[in-house]
Chains A and B, each alone.
Chain A
Amino acid sequence: MKHFRFSQQEIVFVVFAGLFLVFSIFLRGFLTTDNMLTLLQNVAVLGILGLAMAIVVIGRGIDISLIAALAVPPGLVLQMVQNGHSLPASLLTAVLLTIAFGLVNGWLIAYAEVPSLFATLATGLLLAGLGQTALFQLDVVQWSPGMDGFEKLGQGTILGIPTSIVMFAIACVVVAFLLRQTRWGAYIYAIGDNPFAARVTGIPSRPIIVLQYVITALIGCFAGLVLAASVNSMPTRIFNSTLIYDVILVVVLGGIGLSGGRGGVLNVVIGTLVIGTMLNGMTIMDISYAGQNLIKGVVLLLAVITDSFLNPRNEETAQQGDI
Chain B
Amino acid sequence: MKHFSSPTKAIVAALGLAAMTAPALAQQGLDEPFQKPFKEALAGKTVAYVPVAMNFDLTEGWYAGLKKELEPFGVKFVIRDANWNTNAGAQAVTSLISEKPAVMVVHNPDVQTYAKLLQRAENEGIYVIQINMGSAYRSSAFVGANWVEIGERQTEAVVKACEGKSNKIAIVQGALSAAASAYTLKGVENVLAKHPEVKVVSSQAADWDAAKAKAITQTVLKQNPDLCGIVGFWDGMDIGTAAAVKEAGLTGKVFLATSGGGERKGACELVKSGAFDLNMSYDVPTQAAQMAGTIKWLLSSGAKPGSIKGSEYTTLIPITKENADSQTACWNLSDLKK
Are A42 and B53 within 8 A (Cβ)? no
B104 at the interface (CB under 8 A from A): no
- Whether, in the assembled complex, B246 has its beta carbon less than 8 Å from a beta carbon of chain A, the answer is yes
Known contacts A235-B211, A238-B211; A138 and B60 CB within 8 A of each other: yes
Write the B234-267 contact mask toward A (1 if CB under 8 angstroms, else 0): 0010011011001100000000000000000110
Contact of B236 among A35, A235, A288 (CB under 8 A): A235
State whether A289 touches B333 (Cβ < 8 A). no
A313: min CB distance to chain B, Å: 35
Query: B243 touches which one: A38, A137, A231, A290 (CB < 8 A)?
Result: A231
Q: Which of the segments A50-58, A104-112, A190-198, A276-284 contacts the partner chain? A: A276-284
A residues within 8 A CB of B209? 235, 238, 241
Q: Which of A32, A41, A240, A286 has the most CB of B within 10 A?
A: A286
Complex Cα–Cα for A142 and B203 (A): 26
When distances are taken between beta carbons in the complex, the residues of chain A under 8 Å from B205 are: 289
Which residue in A41, A137, A232, A241 is a CB contact (below 8 Å) of B218?
A: A41
Closest to B235 in A: A140
Evaluate contact between B210 and A284: CB separation under 8 angstroms: no
Minimal beta-carbon separation of B243 from chain A (angstroms): 5
Q: B207 at the A/B interface (Cβ < 8 Å)?
A: yes
Q: Is the CB of A237 within 8 A of B84?
A: yes
Residues of chain B with a CB closer than 8 A to A238's CB: 209, 211
Q: Are A29 and B222 closer than 8 Å at their CB atoms? A: yes
Q: Are A155 and B223 in contact (CB-based, < 8 A)?
A: no
Whether B219 pairs with A283 at a CB distance below 8 angstroms is: yes
Q: Shortest distance in angstroms between A52's beta carbon and chain B's nearest beta carbon?
A: 17
Say whether A140 contacts B211, CB under 8 Å.
no
A227-B211 CB under 8 A given contacts A280-B219, A283-B219: yes
Mask of A254-293 contacts with B, CB within 8 angstroms, 1/0 = 0000000000000000000000000110011010111000
Q: Could you say which of A231, A241, A288 contacts B214, with CB atoms under 8 Å apart?
A: A231
B239 touches A42 (CB 8 A): no
For chains A and B in complex, what number of residue pairs have CB atoms within 8 angstroms? 97
- Which single residue of chain A is at the shortest CB-CB distance from B215? A42
CB distance from B58 to the nearest CB of A (A): 10
Q: Mark B181-211, 1 if CB is under 8 A from A, else 0.
A: 0000000000000000000011111010111
Residue contact A233 to B239, C-beta cutoff 8 Å = yes
Q: Which residue of A lies closest to B173 (CB)?
A: A289
- Is the CB–CB distance between A283 and B204 below 8 Å? yes
Contact, CB under 8 Å: B266 / A142? yes
In the complex, residue of chain B having the shortest beta-carbon distance to the beta carbon of A28: B223
CB pair B219–A42 under 8 Å, yes or no, is yes
Q: Which residue of B lies closest to A151 (CB)?
A: B243
B74: shortest Cβ distance to chain A, in Å? 28
- Chain A nearest CB from B188 CB (Å) reads 15
In the complex where A35-B219, A137-B333, A140-B56 touch, is A290 in contact with B176 (Cβ < 8 A)? Answer: yes
* A150 proximity list for chain B (CB < 8 A): none
A45: interface (CB < 8 Å): yes
The reply on B150 being an interface residue by CB < 8 A is no
Chain B positions within 8 Å of A279 at CB level: 215
* With A140-B56, A140-B266: A29-B247 Cβ-Cβ less than 8 Å: no
A79 to B282, CA, bound (A): 25
**Cβ of B211 to closest chain A Cβ, rounded Å:** 6
Name B239's contact: one of A34, A232, A241 (CB within 8 Å). Answer: A232
Most chain A beta-carbon contacts within 10 A, residue among B202, B205, B215, B216: B215
Cβ contacts under 8 Å, A136 to chain B? 55
Q: Are B247 and A231 in contact (CB under 8 A)?
A: no
Cβ of A207 under 8 Å from chain B: no
**Would you give the shortest CB distance from B263 to chain A, in whole angstroms?**
8
Name the residue of chain B whose CB is nearest to the CB of A289.
B205
20 examples of A-B residue contacts, CB within 8 angstroms: A34-B222, A137-B55, A140-B57, A142-B266, A144-B265, A230-B214, A230-B243, A231-B210, A231-B211, A231-B239, A233-B239, A235-B210, A237-B56, A238-B209, A238-B211, A283-B204, A283-B219, A286-B201, A288-B204, A289-B204
Give 4 nearest A-B pairs by CB, closest first: A42-B215, A289-B205, A231-B210, A139-B56
